[in-house]
Amino acid sequence: MNIITAQKAFDFVLPESLECTTPTEERGLRRDDVRLMVSNRTDNSIAHSTFKNIASFLQEGDVLIVNTSRTRNAALPTLLPGDLAGRIHLSTPLNHREWLVEVRQINGKDTSRYHGLSKHQVLSIPAGGIMEVIEPYYDKRTEDKHIKLWKVRFSTPIEISVYLKKYGQPIKYKNIDTKYPLSYYQTVFSSETGSSEMPSAGRAFTPELVTKLVLKGVQFAPVILHTGISSLEIDEAPYPEYFEVAPFTASLINRAKAENRRIIAVGTTAIRAIESAINLSGKVISKSGMTNLFITPERGLQIVNAMLTGFHEPKASHLLMMEALADKSHLAITYQSAIEAGYYWHEFGDLHLLL
């Protein structure tokens, strides 16, 4: 019996055994030891390999767009009304004291979104700090204006970035009683701090592998997209995030596109950044700022023609971005194959190269 059908490619049963929340370092693996599924949307062919062999599937002239954002400690413990244990997930800074945040309730080893906040409510955070709720954040792109985040103001004994380094932890949604160092949530490309959650598609790259790819003639195009929280629920669009595309990257990608080379985004964040920096002529330009771009099949992709990504949960909005690259029937085939072959999901899991 098929777990996935072409008619319902984004509504499938993900076996709990495939939800990987343990880093490779804790499984006795190198980062590039994770598995790699390679699919071709033109003929629906699928190859199974390991990430350390990705060079076999790339060719001279390919361009990999990589997100160089560095992950911060963005989770703080708090106590919710009724003495419920909770966590505050900082998503997007608005200024040096005000942020958009998500508040979650701890349920055993898991968490769930907490909706019981109200304006002017105050929650305590470590070392005598407080978080004051200013107002709910509404997504104006949806008619029902569903509340997703809260606009809040922090009062901390030291500057917030220093405070987060000292008292914060990396964001986790499951097994939160297991603490891993922040280094587990960085990629080899990490440089400028700003992401609340790791741009995880780049996690499997190692310095040695990057060198091997460069020697093969593969080019790397850096972008920045500071990721917010990734706990999107069904039918929720991504939140606004800060991005930067430098002149060098714009020039490199425009040249590759003019020469009909493969432009491969490493992760959905890289796609969002580069597709947010396109002018009316369809060229990539140097640009920075906040993007609320929501890529769907109807919107399509103008620059990216291949991608490397992790495996996404049923009905996740990231699957709509993938459908802008490959149709539902191809995604149904690949996800069915991934489940049958036992590929791991989530940020520490396996990867999918869609060519």
What's the rounded Cα separation, in Å, for the pair 316 and 114?
20
Over residues 237-251, mean pLDDT = 93
pLDDT band at 233 (very low <50, low <70, confident <90, very high): low
The predicted pLDDT at position 313 comes to 82
Q: What is the pTM of this model?
A: 0.93
The predicted pLDDT at position 147 comes to 61
Read off the pLDDT of residues 98-125 as tens digits, 9 standing for 90 and up.
999 999 999 988 899 998 899 999 999 9
pLDDT band at 341 (very low <50, low <70, confident <90, very high): very high
Determine contact, residues 114/151, Cβ cutoff 8 Å: no
Sequence spans of domains, the chain: 6-71+182-354, 75-167
User: Tokens standing for 2?
Assistant: 């098929």
Instruction: Determine the topology of domain 6-71+182-354 in CATH.
Output: QueA-like (3.40.1780)
Query: Strands 98-107, 110-113: parallel, antiparallel or unpaired by DSSP?
Result: antiparallel
> From start to end of 72-163, where are the E strands?
75-80, 84-93, 98-107, 110-113, 122-125, 129-138, 147-155
What's the rounded Cα separation, in Å, for the pair 191 and 209?
18
The predicted pLDDT at position 10 comes to 63
The predicted pLDDT at position 319 comes to 85
What's the rounded Cα separation, in Å, for the pair 348 and 23?
5
The predicted pLDDT at position 43 comes to 96
Which amino acid, residue 139? Answer: D
Determine contact, residues 110/96, Cβ cutoff 8 Å: no
User: Tokens standing for 164?
Assistant: 């987060």
What's the rounded Cα separation, in Å, for the pair 124 and 130?
5
Read off the pLDDT of residues 172-185 as tens digits, 9 standing for 90 and up.
988 877 889 999 99
Which one is predicted more confidently, 63 or 321? 63
Q: Is the pLDDT of residue 20 over 80?
A: yes
Q: Is the pLDDT of residue 7 over 80?
A: no
Over the chain, what is the mean pLDDT? 91
What three-state secondary structure class fits 236?
Answer: coil
Over residues 163-171, mean pLDDT = 96
Q: Is the pLDDT of residue 92 over 80?
A: yes
